[in-house]
Amino acid sequence: MRGTEELRRGLVRYLAGAGVEAVAAWPGEHCSPAGQAVAAVSLRACSGGPPGFQDYLGERYDEAAGRWEELYGKKVRLTFGLDLYAATAAQVQEGLDALTAALARGGPEGLRPVAFSAGETVWRKEAGRYFCPVQAEFEAWSYAVTGEDGAFLDFTVRGESRG
């Protein structure tokens, strides 16, 4: 996957495939179908220590270019908001149960879930819905490919494969 926006949209697709109604949180989408909670997915944080791609990860062969490329990068931790909105508190609880089950099975594109938390369900007058703050953390790799002159050509945030 390329970039954090694609990772966020990948998480929306993963949750939808696991039976959880999910939308990208911005620009503020959080309408839910009748009788079902919806998770508003946002990227809250990306951390990985000092900036840059300081660790040598190895090489890969680019068949299109007919040459080997060097990869540099580091492990990063992505924190996603999965805030739940619903018409009733019971629907929020059902949505939380579905989210928990979906993340217990894994994550999108090989992202490895490493933490999950949910807060208290409250009524949000401005939204006209019940709300439960939820977040999940995943580990991924951020890496860059170098050109023949050693300059970085592009970077990618990619999920870690599970064995």
Number of structural domains the chain divides into? 1
Tens digits of per-residue pLDDT, 35-85?
A: 789 999 999 998 876 666 667 788 888 898 888 888 888 888 999 999 999
The C-alpha atoms of residue 160 and residue 163 are separated, in whole angstroms, by 10
pLDDT digit string (tens) for 124-163?
998 889 999 999 999 987 777 776 665 555 545 555 544 4
Burial letters 137-159, b for 16+ CB under 10 A, else e: bbbbbbbbbbeeeeeeeeebbbb
CATH number, domain of 18, equals: 3.30.2000.30
pTM of the model: 0.77
Cα–chain center distance at 11: 5
Task: Show the domain range for 71.
Answer: 3-159
Distance CA 97, CA 103 (A): 10
